[in-house]
Structure 1
Amino acid sequence: MPRCAWAGPEPIYQAYHDTEWGVPERDSRALWEKLVLDGFQAGLSWITILKKRENFRTAFAGFDPHVIAGWGEAEVTRLLGDPGIIRHRGKIEATIGNARAWQEIEAKGGFDQFLWRYVEGVALQPRHATQAEVPPSTPLSEQVSKDLRKAGFRFVGPTIVYAFMEACGLVNDHLTGCHCHERCAALKAA
């Protein structure tokens, strides 16, 4: 069955592509987890993060932002010693700060609502035929990035945010020849 070329030959990557990537995510905590993982990806390949995702979930208390928001230097030190995750002080500290920023947005109406308002609640539906047509960022991802940074988030540059928007289905960037394109298009306003 035809897939987006980036899904490659590895079964874990293909399963992620086929079942998660581009499917509209509307749960605030799940959106936050994906944003954190996209931040950890900066400078690395997504397959690296995907293979360590369960280790990340264990190390970061199931990505419960209410728990992580209370962490300090002891937890940073513990995480820096965990070989199952990406041990980058800046990204770990950003995750703690991002949990606090998430809490503020969540309390003001929901992180899910904050994000989905950028697309008026309906996933964008570009129709790219080739990977070369897919942009690394857009004016919209630049605006979302700017607003997230203003709210206190870090590791949320426009390219990271665009990858996040694709992963969470705010934009359906499955190529038109991919077997997932139409399925995700049908879920655009789920």
Structure 2
Amino acid sequence: MNRKYLVLPAVLVVAAVVVTVGRLWPSPLKDLRAKNLCLGMLTEETAGLLYDGEGGKLVVDEFRPGKGDKDEGAADPVFSTTCFVGRETGKGNNFRGQYSLDVQPTNTPNEPLKGAGPFTDGGSGWVSPRQSEVQLPASCPKKMRTTAEHVTVILKVAPGVVVAEDWDDAALIEASRPIVQEAVTNLAKQYECG
């Protein structure tokens, strides 16, 4: 048999093996997304820190607009998914929203809201009672394949949680801070940019 006819099948077999190993090989991104909530950003314990006090099992909905489209798996969903964290109501599939977590590329971070304090836990950004915005480390945008200068984790607290805390800004900030801290830390681990 002529060896030149064996080169193409051999190259295809090697390429298939490389692709398979690449998909099956463990990585921080795959590991954290498999074991944590909100695309790997939060552990269940941390996800439950902002709470309206009315009971119910913790529920997480990773909402991605256009889910089900044929190109759904083509891009990393981190920039197109909003994670809604809530509690079961006991009535069907409904749940009470506690907060949402979103990751956005941006060239200019937003100015802090009134009453916000600086995020001092190893990152830049701000934390306020109803919304927090913290930037990932400077090397993350490139690793996350975005041309934006910054990648920001945005936490928005639901009104029911604000009321449950009796509008206590210090308590809301104290409960929000570890959530954004863990989200930033775990995203930096996933993309190996921390």
TM-score by length of 1: 0.28
More strand by percentage: 2
Bigger radius of gyration: 2
TM-score by length of 2: 0.27
Larger relative contact order (Cα-Cα within 8 Å, sequence gap ≥ 6): 1
More helix by percentage: 1
